Amino acid sequence: MGEAEIPHAGIKLDTISLTSLSGAVAGKDALDIPSDPSDYKVFVNSILTKMNTQETFLSFSRQINDVNKILNMKYSSANDIAQVILKDLALTLKMLKLVNSSFYRNFTSKGISTISEAMIILGTDEIRLAAASLKIYETLKDLANTKFLAKKALKGFQRGLMAKQIALEGGYNDPDALQVSAMIYDLGEYLVVLFAQNKYIMIEVARDEGQISLQKAAKSIIGLSYNSLGRIAAMKLHLPKNILYAMKPVTNFDVKPQELSDGDKSRYVCSFTKELGNIPMSDEKTKVDQKAGLIAGKYKKVLNIDRVKAVELVTTSREKIVKHAALLNIDKNEY
């Protein structure tokens, strides 16, 4: 049973023509373009123009194409997949560091020296998934022009780790798409911070003053929710439909798991990991337990994940990030 998109999202992405959202404001900055809540296309166009003209984002688009290649190689040979990864020297080196670290068990006393060997020992799916998540994290981190965005990229990586664990333990059909969807779940908010900081501030003020949800606040300022903007951008990046669908928000928590399609289950997992990932790392353990318990209770009927499991997801993902701070090029004291 599918769930209708929440009312304040208000945009049917299938009816949007990306061609009509191009070029009209070329050369202008999203900061300088007035956003009319009654015409979201004005703001969307400014964001897409920035995506098309900023070199760093064009690089991001190319990186996403590489991620798509990796994700679409489910039934390819290990050699074919290895060749795609090997084309990116930086990714190759990070992958080898990753598989030889305590992120994974020590399978051999000599260590793993090639991507092909890693696939033989760990499996092609494991390596594909790790390569895709590292690629997305690195590109989002490279785009970041503030510590705030760098932390958002890291939060995305954490969400991906939690989604992957849920998918593998819960027997989900497409853990690849679920992990990527969770990682870029807040892409819309990321883009507003990156390209239109003043609008982001206005949205935060509207949220605080009106005591409304983040998505409603975004729509009141830029004409559409962060979720809708993120999915439009994901369409522009030619991400698969199942990833786009998993990025749709959810509101109905009084539904049985057996009544949901696989795609709808992915939507709940993405929303769930988003809320878990928002728990501040600076919180004491008792606060983490309490907040994770409240979130688990909200999703319990749909995902059947209790407080203990929710705390484990948060704790395990954080431990992996802190343990591999050097590999991820982060200051673990700032996370």
Q: What is the pLDDT along the chain (335 residues), one digit of tens a residue?
A: 444 333 333 445 544 444 444 443 333 444 444 456 667 888 898 888 888 777 767 776 777 777 777 766 666 677 777 777 887 777 788 788 777 775 565 555 567 888 888 887 777 777 777 787 888 888 788 888 888 888 898 999 999 999 999 998 988 888 888 988 999 999 999 999 988 989 999 999 999 998 899 999 999 999 999 999 999 998 888 888 888 999 999 989 988 888 899 999 999 999 999 999 999 888 888 999 999 999 999 999 999 999 999 999 999 999 888 877 776 777 655 55
Q: What is the largest CA-CA distance in the chain?
A: 63
Query: Using an 8 Å Cβ cutoff, are 118 and 112 in contact?
Result: yes
Q: Name, in order, each residue with C-beta under 8 angstroms of 31's C-beta and a sequence gap of 6 or more.
A: 195, 196, 197, 198, 199
Alpha helices in 211-306 (DSSP H): 214-222, 226-236, 241-246, 262-277, 285-303
Residues 141 and 72: beta-carbon distance below 8 Å: no
Angle of the 78-86 helix axis to the 115-122 helix axis, nearest 10: 140
Report pLDDT for 236: 86
pTM: 0.79
Residue whose token pair is 């969807």 = 181
Task: Say what the alpha-carbon torsion angle 103, 105, 110, 114 is, to the nearest 10 degrees.
Answer: -60
Other CB atoms within 10 A of residue 248 CB: 23
- Percentages helix, strand, coil for the chain (3-state, rounded to 5) are 70, 0, 30
Spatial separation of the C-alpha atoms in residues 135 and 130, rounded to whole Å? 8
